[in-house]
Amino acid sequence: MLAPGELFRTNPQDETYRDTPATELRAIIDRVVNGVPWREAVAAAFGEVHPWLCDIVTSPQRDLFFRQYPPADGARVLDIGAGWGQAALPLARRAEVVALEPTAERMDFIRAAAVQEKVDQSLCFVQADFFDVTFETKFDLICCIGVLEWVPKFRTGDPIGLQREFLQRTRGLLNPGGRLVIGIENRLGLKYLLGAPDDHIGVGGVAVYDFELARAKWREIHGVELRSLTHSRSELAHLLTESGFYSNQFFGAFPDYKIPQVILPVGPEINAWLKGGGFVPEHDGSCGSPLPFQADLASHYRSLAVLDIAENFAPSFFVEASA
């Protein structure tokens, strides 16, 4: 049983998701430990050379979903793939949070930022792969933000089967009435249908197709297996049902789940918002560059909203799945 503020590590893994070389992140951590506010330390490192990453790490919009739909005070929360702590840190102000992150230097950043934010005693830190940890604790909320699509990347086996196994494991860790919150891109997001690069593989015209065709196209281009996998709304709902979740509420996130500006329940609210002129400019999710076809997006969204189907083409989803 981990005590508040305590760290548990498994054997370090060389192959984990990284958006920053370990040496660069270690330098940022040193600055934070030495008293530089963590957002300032990140901005100094990335503000000019990698502004998109800087925004993803430091934007206060990162936890917008959990401010709109917060857990109960004192809830037990597991944040899987905690990244730079964008959800774990603010949630620790009201909940007991376990931050699970396989990348060692990212975990060290979260710990340093938590001490600086004075929330380290509301956090436990687990540096491990989710599949390699057995929890005795049950949770009221499990966060899976930008993680499900990467689950097959660093493991062998059928990609969809691995995602199903992952979801089944989360289902088994929830208290009765607990919820799993997923943040993920929509395979049929309108911007992808119009040719925008996929956020994960960095090219268009591949991941937007169903998995078998996307897999064939990727293998033809690169000669290797496609291991990053997103879904349409109906595909993800089916996967969750197969994994034992009985109630799944979808929310459209505009311009995406990473830095959401507008989050609305899937259904009439999104269509009404779009028909009323609602629109958030969208970007290439792999680098943050504004897309060149904003007028096309807005026009198509309005037309789809008149048909009451625009919610199926939102760029990203948050999904609240109940156990």
Query: Where residue 12 falls among pLDDT bands split at 50, 70, 90?
Result: low
- Residue-by-residue DSSP string for 220-272: HHHSS------B-HHHHHHHHHHTT--EEEEEEEES-SSS-SEEEETTHHHHH
Residue % of the chain over a pLDDT of 70: 98
Instruction: Report the distance separating Cα 105 and Cα 14, nearest Å.
Output: 11
pTM: 0.95
Mean pLDDT of 31-37: 97
User: What's the rounded mean pLDDT across residues 46-69?
Assistant: 96
pLDDT (tens digit per residue) in 95-124: 999 999 999 999 999 999 999 999 999 999
Mean pLDDT taken over the chain: 95
Confidence at residue 16, expressed as pLDDT on a 0 to 100 scale: 77
In this predicted structure, what is the pLDDT of residue 18? 83
Mean pLDDT for the stretch of residues 135-141:
95
Q: What is the pLDDT of residue 195?
A: 97
Beta-bridged to residue 307, according to DSSP, are: none
| Residues 201-249: tens digit of each pLDDT | 999 999 999 999 999 999 999 999 999 999 999 999 999 999 999 899 9
pLDDT of residue 262 exceeding 90, the answer is yes
Predicted local confidence at residue 307, as pLDDT: 98
Mean local confidence (pLDDT), 276-280:
97
pLDDT at 197: 96
Is-contact 82 73, C-beta < 8 A?
Answer: no
Q: Which residue has the tokens 């395979």?
A: 187
Asked whether the beta carbons of 258 and 187 are under 8 A apart, the reply is no
Return the CATH architecture of domain 7-190+203-258+313-322. 3-Layer(aba) Sandwich (3.40)
Q: What is the pLDDT of residue 20?
A: 87
Calculate what percentage of the chain has a pLDDT beyond 90. Answer: 93
Q: Where are the domains of the chain?
A: 7-190+203-258+313-322
**pLDDT 10s digits, 164-206:** 999 999 999 999 999 999 999 999 999 999 999 999 999 999 9
**Confidence (pLDDT) at 291:** 98
pLDDT of residue 11: 67
Query: Residue 255: pLDDT band by 50, 70, 90 thresholds?
Result: very high
Please state the rounded mean pLDDT for residues 261-289. 97
Report which DSSP code applies to 133: -
Alpha-carbon distance of 5 to 90, in angstroms, equals 15
The enclosing H or E element of 322 equals strand 316-322
